[in-house]
Structure 1
Amino acid sequence: MSPEIATYIGYAASLFIVLSFILKDLRKIRIVNLIGCICFVIYGIFSGMLWPVIIPNAIICFVQMYYLLTPKQK
């Protein structure tokens, strides 16, 4: 992947993360944040294995997936 495409993925990731702070519905927040974290993981991989970017965002992906897939308890 070209460095230019990786840079655009990084910008998209930042946009999704910021957008997740604007939303009010928790499910939408988690989905948009998950997309941003996935983009950051891809960015970290294609920008030279940036582990400080990959590791926390991968963990957040798993956390968001857990809460999205776990049924609500009342």
Structure 2
Amino acid sequence: MSETEKDELIDAQKQVIGILFEVIKRLQANNDLDEEYFKIISNGTKNDDRIKKIINERTENAKIVGRLLEQLET
């Protein structure tokens, strides 16, 4: 394996690690949002604005995770 090939392999590995790190970060954010959502619901507090924001953030995170995972397929 030539030095150029080794460098390309290392770069590819770094990209995969970066993508996986971002996926984990987004999934953890969704877990945190789920926890907050369930606290709001279980307390019986009406906080519709925050609930909408949580749902929007979760949806956006899910879309980003989907795009990131698509990148790993290529």
TM-score by length of 1: 0.55
Q: Runs (4+) of structure 1 moved beyond 6 Å?
A: none
8 Å CA contact 1:40–1:53 kept in 2: the answer is: no
Match of 2:71 in 1: 72
Deviation sequence 1:42-63 (CA, Å, 0-9, x none): 1222222322321111110101
CA RMSD of aligned residues (A): 2.0
1:1-74 residue pairs with structure 2 within 5 A?
Answer: 25-47=21-43, 48-70=45-67, 71-72=70-71
Instruction: From the CA coordinates, give the structure whose radius of gyration is larger.
Output: 2
Unaligned runs of 5+ in 1: 1-24
Identity of aligned residues (%): 6
Give the structure, 1 or 2, with the largest relative contact order (CA under 8 Å, sep 6 or more): 2
